[in-house]
Amino acid sequence: MPELENPSQDIPDTVWNIQNSTAELAFPEEFEFDADLSFDELANAIEKVTEIARNVAAQHVYSDQLWAYWNNGRMIVSYEQNGRDRAEYGDQTLTRLSKRLTSRLGRGFSRTNLYNMRLLFLTHKKFQTLSGKLSWSHYCELITVEDELKMRFYEHEAANSGWSVRDLRRQMNSLLFERVLNAKDDARREHVLALANEGVVYRHPADAVRSPLVLEFLDLPDDVAPLERDLQQALVNQIEKFMLELGRGFMFVGSNQRVPVGTDNDFVDMVFYCKPLRAYVLIELKTDKLMSSAVGQINEYLNYYATEVNDEFDNPPIGIILCTDKNNVRAQYALGGLSNAIFASTYTLRLPNEEQLEDQVRRTIEANERKALMSGEEDA
């Protein structure tokens, strides 16, 4: 296929080549401008960037807009720091800039949007750190996260999982970052950095566990414990939202899946397949605290799946007991010594308390750091 000719000298070749290439997305160069530009020069430069982005054939719509908005934010910050007449405009810079750009370019240049462009640059000093898989609306949500590590985590997860803006907002409101950390009994600072740099990476069965699972989308009353069958049916009715909550790569196999035990039949509450781990995930629902009997029950189911359902390409199945409370000591004794991967996770029918969950994660990390330090001193 012959290369398309760049129709305008105003469009940098790097931008044009990106939009008309089937190769993996690379990012264009920074838009050049004088650091000490005046207000008029700032407005004209933003108009030029907007014209470039609008004229490019939009094969990668998100990257066009992000390229323009990131450069706009970069120029606004530069003007605020070095602009020749910045003192004349002061706090009114964005307001007056919004009026001028809206009159010339139309919608999309409200004061709030210009402020967000500025914030986009301040949170992503290099354009290459932006994801071409995410839209401007995604980034308007992400840049509200003050903690840089959390923001990077949600950015990775949104891009890797293909979240809509609504999905992203829901995961942020349900404190997914803290809940992923909370599920790690050995959580330490390196886990925080790994989540920020990579998002959730499925390497071990434990990576499929979050605690607590937030099921606020079921709209069940949280002051009365539901019956197990009612909880199960509610989850089946909202299976897409439940799979979003479980994590990336989960596929629903079915509910009440039969498990022959001798001459009897038992039934697994819910069965999923986790594609990243290449493993069946069996979930047992309990509307009360963790009991050892539930562990023995799901252990039988896992043995059956390992011998009768798995094929040569599947990894050993994983069991998750979803309950209202798991006493850590009880869980340690109940789950310890088993050859199967069984985990206990709690669930809540309402959004978790941010301060409490953050404090819990912080205390867990500090305790594990002290434990690791003491272990190192003993080894020495």
Q: What is the per-residue pLDDT across 183-215, written as a single tens digit (0 to 9) for each?
A: 876 666 777 888 888 888 898 898 888 888 999
pLDDT band at 263 (very low <50, low <70, confident <90, very high): confident
| pLDDT given at position 22 | 29
More confident residue, 22 or 127: 127
Q: What is the mean pLDDT of the chain?
A: 84
| pLDDT given at position 329 | 46
- Domain ranges (residues) in the chain: 13-139, 205-349
CA 114 to chain CA centroid, nearest Å: 25
| pLDDT given at position 99 | 96
pLDDT of 47 > 50? The answer is yes
Q: What is the per-residue pLDDT across 58-114, written as a single tens digit (0 to 9) for each?
A: 445 567 889 999 999 999 999 999 888 888 887 899 999 999 999 999 999 999 999
Count of residues making up the chain: 380
Fold of 205-349: Trna Endonuclease; Chain: A, domain 1 (3.40.1350)
pLDDT of 9 > 60? The answer is no
